Amino acid sequence: MAYFDERLCKDIKVLTEMLTPLASSYRLMVGAADEFNKVALVHRKDVENAIDRADELGHIIDDVQERLKKVLRIYLKGVDYKADVVLKDELEALLCEKTEWELQNVVKGVILDKNDD
């Protein structure tokens, strides 16, 4: 289980680290396409190519985000499962403690009742 957690954390880290520079590059590419569009001497094909490149990078960003969502969902399900197991174990331990305490009090009560005789 620990290896699985480490692997998920590594995947989350890698995907997150990929996303930041990709988003920055995307913003720059969109800005460049906008600047090309404002320059009168630029050919329309150059503007379209710049928009296409930004669009392709946008699709890559979408793919990275989707994979990150999937990995995060799996990781969070694991966290929930572990929390449920810990909670169940703690509840069982408390129940055993309570039962043991009640039994001790019953035994003490029985011993006290015998001493009264």
Map out the domains of the chain as residue ranges.
2-84
User: Residue 103: pLDDT band by 50, 70, 90 thresholds?
Assistant: confident
User: Residue 4: pLDDT band by 50, 70, 90 thresholds?
Assistant: low
Write out the DSSP string of 52-80. HHHHHHHHHHHHHHHHHHHHHHHHHHHHH
Residue 2 and residue 8: Cα distance in Å, rounded? 10
Top pLDDT among 99 and 48 is at 48
The pLDDT score that the predictor gives to residue 79 is 81
Contact between 71 and 6 under an 8 Å Cβ cutoff? The reply is: no
Q: Tokens at residue 26, please?
A: 């995307």
The pLDDT score that the predictor gives to residue 56 is 97
Res. 57: pLDDT tops 90? yes
Contact between 57 and 29 under an 8 Å Cβ cutoff? The reply is: yes
Q: Would you give the end-to-end CA distance of the chain in angstroms?
A: 59
Write out the DSSP string of 8-41. HHHHHHHHHHHHHHHHHHHHHHHHHHHHHHH-TT
pLDDT in tens, 30-40: 999 999 888 87
